Copies of this chain bind each other. A is one copy, B any other.
Amino acid sequence: MENIIYISGHKNPDTDSICSAIAYSELKNKLGFNTVPARLGNVSRETQFALDYFKVDAPKLVENLSENQDLILVDHNERSQSIDNLEALHLLEIIDHHRIADIQTSYPIFFRNEPVGCSSTIIGSMYFEKGITPSKEAAGLMCSAIISDTLLFRSPTTTDRDKEVLKKLAEIADIDPEKYASEMFKAGTSLKGKTVEEIFNSDYKVFNLGDKKVGVSQVTTMDIEGFDEYKKDMLAYMDKKVKDESFNVVLLLLTDIIKEGSLLIATGEDTAIVNKAFNVELKDNSVYVPGILSRKKQVIPPLTSAIEAK
């Protein structure tokens, strides 16, 4: 019997690692190899949306493979991100788009690394170079990976190659990239099922600006509307924080990097600072501010100025 070859992305897998493993496995199998996609961790909500949309099973979850198992890596070439017993395995290929890192072999292998936005851009190219048409499912998953890694071309890592390959694949997958991306990002960043504590504390920092104590939490979500049902509880949680920890202002940013703006939710005695800093008017403790994406660069400096100008 022919050897099975595992194809795996990195630990803590993102959509590219999962979808590239599946799509490359299909390509290799069409070329006569006997491969199965694998994953080194849980599937994210975003990835699960893509798998559900195209009705594809998640790859097999593996932790260690048996000694000398044939293996292909996608979307990483960094030992720390790879399967634990990598050194005991038989590495055949690497397809990646990251820095050249620290995996060594004692024999020549196929290694294709390209400075493009996504591993699936390379794998899509390989289909076209070999004149093989991916299935609708594989094409759809590669689209999902490219959209995810490039934030639908908003990431500075995006290249023309990513755009070209997505265009071709989207036709095969029969999707409208803009519409599909919006649905996938919404599903991937949905707040559903989380508690207000979880949402607030996922990326929360305290700042002493002038004589004011300010707490600022930031959550990236492409489902700001989904926040409506949390608003009342979140404000109560933030109010309690203001009182218990003597904050002047507690601020939550819900940032939509696709629409490129943030919904600001503010509580505390000095919320006027927020109005002044961003030249807005909070209404029921919230206001949407277009263009605000970075806490460090676009939120803390104007808050500081507003406090100092007081």
Complex contact A113–B111 (CB within 8 A): yes
Contact with B along A131-149 (1 / 0, CB 8 A): 0000000000000000000
Q: Which residues of B contact A102 (CB under 8 A)?
A: 102, 104
Contact residues in B for A109 (Cβ distance below 8 Å): 99-100, 113, 115
Residues on the B chain within 8 Å of A106, using CB: 99
- Select the residue from A101, A112, A113 with max chain B CB neighbours within 10 A: A113
A149–B101 Cα distance when bound, in Å, is: 28
Q: Is the CB of A107 within 8 A of B115?
A: yes
This chain: how many copies in the complex? 2
Q: Counting CB contacts under 8 A, is A66 at the interface?
A: no
A98's closest neighbor in chain B, by CB? B108
Interface size of A as a range: 20 to 34
Contact of A110 among B98, B107, B108, B115 (CB under 8 A): B115
Q: Which positions in A face B, CB cutoff 8 Å?
A: 94, 97-116, 129
Given A97-B108, A99-B107, A110-B114, 18 extra CB contacts under 8 A: A94-B100, A98-B108, A99-B105, A99-B106, A99-B109, A100-B104, A100-B105, A100-B108, A100-B109, A100-B111, A101-B104, A102-B102, A102-B104, A108-B113, A108-B116, A109-B113, A110-B115, A112-B112
Contacts of A110 in B (CB 8 A): 113-115
**What is the CB-to-nearest-CB distance from A146 to chain B, in angstroms, rounded to a whole number?**
15
Q: In the A-B complex, list the 10 residue pairs whose CB atoms are closest, starting with the nearest.
A: A111-B113, A108-B115, A100-B105, A99-B105, A110-B114, A98-B108, A100-B104, A97-B108, A99-B107, A99-B108
A31 to chain B, nearest CB (A): 14
Given the known A-B contacts A109-B113, A110-B114, A112-B112, are A100 and B99 also in contact in the complex, defined by CB atoms under 8 Å?
Answer: no
